[in-house]
Amino acid sequence: MKPPRILVFDIFGTVVDWHGSIVRELGQRFPQVDADAFALAWRAGYQPAMEAVRSGGRGFVKLDVLHREILDGLLPRFGLDALTEAERTDLNRVWHRLAAWPDSVAGLTRLKSRFTICSLSNGNLGLLTDMAKAAGLPWDCVLSAEVFRAYKPDPRVYLGSADVFDAAPGEVMMVAAHHEDLAAARDCGLMTAYIERPLEFGAAHIKYVSPVAANTLHARDLLHLADQMGC
């Protein structure tokens, strides 16, 4: 394998534990709420909300806006419709405070020693920057769908990431815990590395993480990816 120049990373579920982080924070704030169900329902609104942008049904808006719209729709279902505007705003920013998986910081640090490492997430720039600051994620560059005014799996995001670095698509490797993200990246000519995250949706909802032959690499976690890439 000819090594890539640039590694670009999906974030939610791949680098950070969105489900566990939201469940912990909701449990502290609202112990009466089924935090697992709330987290899953909030995330379930993610793709439909972005699809409205992808389909041209609405103009591009930041993921913070979409997360807030989904949240406002969820609150009555979980008995939280009395939350104030300030409380809703702060709760929506839980996505800025997501904790990294235990291997993420060490794995990224090792990968950074040899490669340029960069986020490539549907999260907006402010969200990703706040998250990196809070979780200690050592990015060389923070890239977001916001830069390209399009949401993955739109090819503009993958091809745009290569263009930022004046790289050919084949010089970039997309790293993600989601096969559909990697398939779209491959269609654009990127190399791909799958990261197993069986607990992405929580211990009660174990995720299928078997290899897909089309991926360039398959790793248990980011430390294992660093091993495979000689870091």
**What does pLDDT average to in each consecutive run of 10 residues of the chain (231 residues)?**
94 98 96 97 94 92 97 97 97 98 98 98 98 98 97 97 98 98 98 98 95 97 98 96
pLDDT digits (tens, 9 = 90+) for 187-203: 999 999 999 999 999 99
pLDDT at 1: 77
CA-to-CA distance for 129 and 119, rounded, in angstroms? 10
pLDDT at 141: 97
Q: What angle do the packed helices 35-44 and 46-54 form, to 10 degrees?
A: 10
Nearest CA to 23 out of 171, 204, 155, 228 is that of 204
**Number of H-type helices and E-type strands within the chain:** 11, 6
Query: Cβ(141)–Cβ(6) under 8 Å?
Result: no
CA-to-CA distance for 81 and 74, rounded, in angstroms? 8
Strand partners, 117: 7
82 CB-near residues (< 8 Å, 6+ apart):
none
Beta-sheet pairing, 141-144 with 6-9? unpaired
pLDDT digits (tens, 9 = 90+) for 40-75: 999 999 999 999 999 998 999 999 999 999 999 999
